[in-house]
A and B are shown apart, each in its own frame.
Chain A
């Protein structure tokens, strides 16, 4: 396959960026999108120039490192996969492919197609955990968990933290990301104890970092490579309302009062 690529190039966060056009020829339809970019970078390096910087690591769709808007869509044209799982057979010979970085205010640009997604780590640090120390834990089977809850928690926990939900959202909202973590832990008995506190802290951090609100376009669900459902946002909203309305009652309940 012969392709034309229009790629966003920007040396660093303080310089001005622009689109550059490249040609790559003889691309195998069986190669992955990144193997196609590897080929391009090999060509660029052979000419003594600076290769295109892009984030990637596991190349099997699980680490969440890769990103990219491809022809205007996060992780490219296919549903339910990351960019690293996208193969060139999804394109046609002669296609022009436009490649851009994630665009969202809380994700400042690092170089070319790489952005800084530390904001997502900060939201988890604000409360995305169960407060247990290592050791002194009762037997794992001491608390049975209904299979349905375990399965729903697992669906939510599949989030890879890539930020496609933020990138796809007109408001750069991180509600799907936060909703997935809040849901996972709220669905399990281990996480219920801190549920009210957790949802408030995580939402406050999300707002503080400049992520926008949800306006129910569902673009996040459509673009999520792990197909996380927007029902997790609804569950988070319920948790949030409950926490705000019944804060005192909840505190009392969790301490046996």
Chain B
């Protein structure tokens, strides 16, 4: 049986990574040339890893489902990236970034991993500047910072409201350089459909060429998953349409444990849902909370008039506005962490104070900061976001407050990895959003970009050599080996089975139904009763899928409906695990709010005695329940305390 060993190095927290780097095993340059590494995904984590491994001299194969590696959804991250540079002289340090991240994650992540993340954060900024990433600067020519939720220092570096784009294009450019040099070979428009395991080790992947429909087999001495999060299980989320959980789910079914599946981040500032035809939700960067104030009316009669459009938001006098975050959390105000801000919005809307026609929206108001700083400053900081908002809602946020509501955004859960970022399948690594590692039960703003690039540029290149040093005698395994042939055969059978359902409903129809179940029972507030109800509905959805789905076209051609169907069944199965995970976690922590477990004033009530662990689920076959393993979390430095932002 697989046992969970996190392989955390001995020694003081602050010395662990330094010790690891000086003592881990290395691969000499002439052997690196003989080793093949597969990297799946070309977002911040995947592109930075593939490029860095190529620079080191390994043979890298990079895969993405998009037409170009530059389009991975990291590109849509807006607000910024954290680093402990302390350029603002406001008291920041590696320790403080570590502490804020552990606390922000509600003490459900590993100290050693998070400390390492904070430690390498500064190098990321240096690296990106050297690549030509045009971060915002002051008039003296030095880098500018902004503040973000959950921190009292300004440590966030940004490039207007397009930080993710600029960082990804930086990583993409270094990746392109390696492609040009021939150390990385790019395979675009490929969906990874399976991991190939030979003698207990990950040795390759099966992919579908999305243009020709051809199934391809690829060998690697190691396989790295950098495939992002699984928020699209909810159908509506801020993820890209193509973002999917299939590589993770197939790895899980091959023996990789899945951790903290229920930890999803519902982001507080998104454009509200406006109709059944809606295909996705759009995020408005959290950085807007630096200058915007969140409120709803104090009086229900004002709410009623607003909804009927009898009055405008500006008609409501100051004394009749409830700036509820400032009221409830005076120390952090509008800059409380995302989970806290989302729940507070839900609480007001549930109490009937939602300001839109649907009742599911609150105001984010810039009137005061425009008066204080001038329209130009606001435009420089957030111009592209304001424009994006106006396109979608057809209202000018310089003149009337934005309407926002929480939406599914990021998944803290993911594949279990040890300190080396290796999963429970030897030779299979998981980096970036797709692992569970650094954000605990709630991710702080501007930390996802930091983690993706930390893993790809600075962590994996060391830890993967530690593994590959013992693989230098392994000859390349030909892809006609029985394990490859068997994996290919079973993928072909699965695809044929999907094509042969020949029912009536489209993929989206079933996905929307399933998404509603997920949002209703595994969304911002979760209860034992609700989760059981949600779980009881899954068999019917699965049955609907396997009997009434319709996929037009053929298997061996460009077929977007087949792609979506293959992803949807994995979302349904993963959604079931998310609800199962949420059910077992009888505590409220971070993004996981169990309504039974709250303090008298409605704050999350964590249970460190019984739940200070990482859940790690082991697949036991399609007809059996998965087995829960627990990795106990030990806090030696950052002692858990009640998380208070008051």
B394 lies within 8 A of A154 (CB): no
Cβ of B138 within 8 Å of any chain A Cβ, yes or no, is yes
When each residue 145-164 of chain A gets 1 if its CB lies under 8 Å from chain B and 0 otherwise, what string results?
11100110110011011000
B176 lies within 8 A of A62 (CB): no
- Cα-based distance from A179 to B311 in the complex (angstroms): 49
A190 lies within 8 A of B139 (CB): no
- Cα-based distance from A168 to B375 in the complex (angstroms): 34
Given the interface pairs A117-B67, A147-B137, the reply to whether A134 lies near B143 with Cβ below 8 Å is: no
A62 lies within 8 A of B141 (CB): no
Within 8 A of B (CB), among A99-121: 110-111, 114, 116-118, 120-121
Given the interface pairs A135-B123, A150-B134, the reply to whether A140 lies near B129 with Cβ below 8 Å is: yes
Chain B residues, CB < 8 A from A126: 180
Within 8 A of A (CB), among B18-70: 48, 51-52, 55, 66-70
Q: How far is the CB of A147 from chain B (nearest CB, A)?
A: 5
Given the interface pairs A45-B552, A48-B550, the reply to whether A121 lies near B68 with Cβ below 8 Å is: yes
Cβ of A204 within 8 Å of any chain B Cβ, yes or no, is no
When each residue 434-450 of chain B gets 1 if its CB lies under 8 Å from chain A and 0 otherwise, what string results?
00000000000000000
Q: What bracket does the count of chain B residues touching chain A fall in?
A: 35 or more
Of the candidates A48, A60, A185, the one having the most CB atoms from chain B within 10 angstroms of its own CB is: A60
Chain A residues, CB < 8 A from B130: 130, 132, 137-138, 190
- Cα-based distance from A65 to B138 in the complex (angstroms): 33
Within 8 A of A (CB), among B372-403: 387-388, 391-392, 394
Binds B, one of A25-33, A210-218, A230-238: A25-33
Cβ of A191 within 8 Å of any chain B Cβ, yes or no, is yes
User: What residue in chain A is nearest B275 (Cβ atoms)?
Assistant: A28
- Cα-based distance from A81 to B391 in the complex (angstroms): 9
Cβ of A139 within 8 Å of any chain B Cβ, yes or no, is yes
Chain B residues, CB < 8 A from A59: 240-241, 279-280, 282
User: What residue in chain B is nearest A121 (Cβ atoms)?
Assistant: B68
- Cα-based distance from A57 to B138 in the complex (angstroms): 34
Binds A, one of B161-169, B345-353, B465-473, B474-482: B161-169
Number of A-B contacts (CB under 8 A): 217
Q: Which of B135, B176, B504, B558 contacts A128 (CB 8 A)?
A: B176
- Cα-based distance from A160 to B138 in the complex (angstroms): 25
Cβ of A245 within 8 Å of any chain B Cβ, yes or no, is no
B506 lies within 8 A of A87 (CB): no
A38 lies within 8 A of B55 (CB): no
- Cα-based distance from A225 to B165 in the complex (angstroms): 15
User: What residue in chain B is nearest A162 (Cβ atoms)?
Assistant: B71
Q: Which of B129, B133, B141, B172 contacts A146 (CB 8 A)?
A: B141
Q: How far is the CB of B596 from chain A (nearest CB, A)?
A: 36
Cβ of B525 within 8 Å of any chain A Cβ, yes or no, is no
Q: How far is the CB of B156 from chain A (nearest CB, A)?
A: 14
A61 lies within 8 A of B141 (CB): no
A60 lies within 8 A of B76 (CB): yes
When each residue 290-320 of chain B gets 1 if its CB lies under 8 Å from chain A and 0 otherwise, what string results?
0000000000000000000000000000000
B240 lies within 8 A of A117 (CB): no
- Cα-based distance from A157 to B165 in the complex (angstroms): 9
Chain B residues, CB < 8 A from A114: 558
A141 lies within 8 A of B143 (CB): yes
- Cα-based distance from A144 to B141 in the complex (angstroms): 4
Instruction: Tell me the interface secondary structure of chain A in the complex.
Output: loop
Cβ of A97 within 8 Å of any chain B Cβ, yes or no, is no
B279 lies within 8 A of A161 (CB): no
- Cα-based distance from A180 to B541 in the complex (angstroms): 49
B68 lies within 8 A of A184 (CB): no
User: What residue in chain B is nearest A27 (Cβ atoms)?
Assistant: B277
B165 lies within 8 A of A147 (CB): no
Cβ of A5 within 8 Å of any chain B Cβ, yes or no, is no
Q: Which of B76, B140, B394, B506 contacts A46 (CB 8 A)?
A: B506
- Cα-based distance from A133 to B275 in the complex (angstroms): 48
Of the candidates B66, B132, B140, B142, the one having the most CB atoms from chain A within 10 angstroms of its own CB is: B132
Cβ of A35 within 8 Å of any chain B Cβ, yes or no, is yes
- Cα-based distance from A160 to B128 in the complex (angstroms): 18
Q: How far is the CB of A97 from chain B (nearest CB, A)?
A: 17
User: What residue in chain A is nearest B380 (Cβ atoms)?
Assistant: A151
B461 lies within 8 A of A53 (CB): no
- Cα-based distance from A87 to B85 in the complex (angstroms): 42
A35 lies within 8 A of B278 (CB): yes
B388 lies within 8 A of A140 (CB): no
A140 lies within 8 A of B160 (CB): no
Cβ of A19 within 8 Å of any chain B Cβ, yes or no, is no
Chain A residues, CB < 8 A from B139: 147
Q: Which of B159, B279, B561 contacts A34 (CB 8 A)?
A: B279
A129 lies within 8 A of B173 (CB): yes
Chain A residues, CB < 8 A from B166: 154, 157
A45 lies within 8 A of B560 (CB): no
Q: Which of B48, B68, B126, B509 contacts A140 (CB 8 A)?
A: B126
Chain A residues, CB < 8 A from B186: 121
Cβ of B334 within 8 Å of any chain A Cβ, yes or no, is no
Cβ of B458 within 8 Å of any chain A Cβ, yes or no, is yes
Cβ of A222 within 8 Å of any chain B Cβ, yes or no, is no
Chain B residues, CB < 8 A from A70: none
Chain B residues, CB < 8 A from A153: 132, 134
5 residue pairs of the A-B complex, CB under 8 angstroms, read A12-B558, A62-B76, A63-B66, A157-B169, A190-B131
B residues at A contact (CB < 8 Å): 48, 51-52, 55, 66-73, 75-76, 85, 87, 123, 125-143, 159-160, 162, 165-166, 169, 172-174, 176-177, 179-180, 186, 188, 211, 240-242, 274-275, 277-280, 282-283, 387-388, 391-392, 394, 457-458, 461, 504, 506, 508-509, 550, 552-553, 557-558, 560-561
Further 16 A-B residue pairs, CB within 8 A, beyond A34-B279, A59-B280, A157-B166: A35-B278, A44-B552, A46-B504, A57-B73, A65-B71, A85-B388, A118-B68, A124-B70, A129-B173, A132-B127, A137-B123, A137-B126, A137-B127, A144-B140, A154-B134, A157-B159
Which 10 pairs between the two chains have the least Cβ-Cβ distance? A144-B141, A129-B173, A154-B134, A137-B126, A153-B134, A140-B129, A134-B52, A63-B71, A125-B180, A125-B176
